[in-house]
Amino acid sequence: MIGQKTLHSFFSAAPAKKRGRSPEPGEDVEVANGGLAKAKAGEETGRAPPLSPEQQERIRRNKEAALQRLAERNVPPGFGESWRRQLAGEFSKPYFMELMKFVAEERKHYKVYPPPEQVFTWTQMCDIRDVKVVILGQDPYHGPNQAHGLCFSVQKPVPPPPSLENIYKELSTDIEDFTHPGHGDLTGWAKQGVLLLNAVLTVRAHQATSHKEKGWEQFTDEVISWLNKNLHGVVFMLWGAYAQRKGSSIDR
């Protein structure tokens, strides 16, 4: 039958395969080079095209939005909105997160001033772009019912501390019509654009400078730097050696 094999055919030697033609000298090199060239061409063809300006801008905006969301999760309570928009980049930095952990631990074991909701009172008084005068202090008052988030200021009916009385004396000397207000609450100044900023924003009760060099100085340096770079006509009042060192980078 057609296609039928005999038993003998299964045991007979298989026919020899035809040998292919040996390549001419140099031909194998050309073939190899040709394959390499094709491979390279394939790599070039498969390479992603460069991003368009629109794509690059979209990536940049997405990255900024992601960083903003991260920063918003770390916004401390009571932080003024206009100030948050400009300073939010600090909240996700390692130094600031460590600082917040430190203050939280301190509050667990000690009395800390001012209370949490008043640490950033200075950001609630006016828009960041409405600041006209900056007065720098060093450390919050460490006695009870004194510190409330504005340097040198105390809320009524607490009498003015000696440092504030000295300021009133200077004002009465420099300003002919100045009269002592009879209290130490400087909220009215702050609402008119006077930034009353301590270099360190918290303190352990009855222990001056106890929160020094924990990260607050770096943060308040950033506040001063932003104001110095972005606002014009701001007057910086650098009273005392510490404030002068703190404001050494101010170029006005």
B/e letters for 173-211, b = 16+ CB within 10 Å, e = fewer, are: eeeeeeeeeeebbbbebbeebbbbbbbbbbbbeeeeebb
Mean pLDDT of 8-23: 49
Who wins on pLDDT, 24 or 213?
Answer: 213
| Token code pair at residue 252 | 């006005």
Query: How many other CB atoms are there within 10 angstroms of residue 75's CB atom?
Result: 15
Region 54-64 average pLDDT: 84
Class of domain 61-246: alpha beta
How do residues 75-110 score in pLDDT, each as one tens digit? 899 999 999 999 999 999 999 999 999 999 999 999
SS3 of residue 63 by DSSP = helix
CB atoms within 10 A of CB 87: 20
Quote the pLDDT of residue 75. Answer: 87
pLDDT tens per residue, range 183-242: 999 999 999 999 999 999 999 999 999 999 999 999 999 999 999 999 999 999 887 777
Query: Any idea which residue has 């930095």 for tokens?
Result: 93
Mean pLDDT, rounded, of the chain: 84
Torsion angle, CA of 88/91/94/96, rounded to 10 degrees?
130
Cis peptide before 159 (omega within 30 of 0): no
> Looking only at Cα atoms, what is the longest distance across the chain?
132
Q: Pairing state of beta strands 194-198 and 133-137?
A: parallel
Does an H or E element contain 56, and which? helix 53-73
pTM beyond 0.85, yes or no: no
Question: What band does 29 get if pLDDT is binned at 50, 70 and 90?
Answer: very low
What is the identity of the amino acid at 152?
A: F
CA 237 remoteness from chain centre:
26
Average of per-residue pLDDT across 177-188: 96
Percentage of the chain surpassing pLDDT 90?
63
Distance CA 111, CA 144 (A): 9
Q: Give Cα separations from 225 to 24, 46, 104, 205, 246 (angstroms).
A: 76, 48, 27, 29, 11
For residue range 72-83, what is the model confidence (pLDDT) as tens digits?
Answer: 667 899 999 999
Which is catalytic among the residues 139, 174, 177, 185? 139
**Domain coordinates in residue numbering, the chain:** 61-246
Give yes or no: 139 in active site.
Answer: yes
pLDDT at residue 2 tops 60: no
53 compared with 165, residue with greater pLDDT = 165
Percentage of the chain surpassing pLDDT 70? 78
Distance CA(142)–CA(211), nearest Å, equals 11
